[in-house]
Chain A
């Protein structure tokens, strides 16, 4: 997969959100977290010169969205990434790390493990998190 394949994720997400009647806020959170996670896998995990495959499982449980991303690329643990230093002025501003920062904000749990030469990233999103944050 490359970045040009991201709309495939978007189409799946809209169908999932519609099927489960997710709120616009929960849909936004899930969209953002999955897009950031998949983009990171494409950028840091995919073996050079290979196509690569990413599997996604997503379920709802007890008011949470549980998403699991699995890929057969190089070992990459986004939970170990250094948190972004939030900029107080333009000199401090760097684009790197903002995606992970957003993922941490919109998830209540991020767990990574390497299993049978595959990356397995488990993400938990509170379904009402975004709505509560906006109030």
Chain B
């Protein structure tokens, strides 16, 4: 999975591209930790518009991110959800845990 990072006006956006699975663990953690360490970033947005696959490994990474975001006093938003990717998040009840936007 490729991860592109953009920071603008207090918002850090991680745009994920490809398969979000076990093999993404190291890159996702590194990219998200970097945003969380940036004092200028108040909100972290994870953009799923280019994600073609995710599984329970990805769900675990998102739960871990949510804990870290709360600990850092920031917010997290999931965006660009559609099709099977949105379906998996819905099945896992993640709409109760994460703010989501188009």
Contacts and interface: CB of A to CB of B under 8 A. Distances in A.
A36 B93 contact: no
A39 B53 contact: no
A95 B87 CA distance: 17
Nearest to A95: B60
A105 interface: yes
Contacts of B23: 3, 6-7
Interface in B69-99: 70, 83-84, 87-88, 91-93, 96-97
B93 to A, nearest CB: 4
B53 A99 contact: no
Contacts of B2: none
A89 B96 contact: yes
Interface in B24-58: 53, 55-57
Main secondary structure of the interface of B (DSSP, over half): helix
Contacts of A24: 84
A90 B97 contact: yes
A130 B60 CA distance: 22
A101 B96 contact: no
Given A35-B21, A99-B56, A105 B93 contact: no
A29 to B, nearest CB: 8
A87 B63 CA distance: 11
Given A86-B93, A101-B92, 11 more contacts: A24-B84, A25-B84, A29-B84, A35-B55, A39-B22, A93-B63, A94-B63, A95-B63, A98-B60, A102-B55, A102-B91
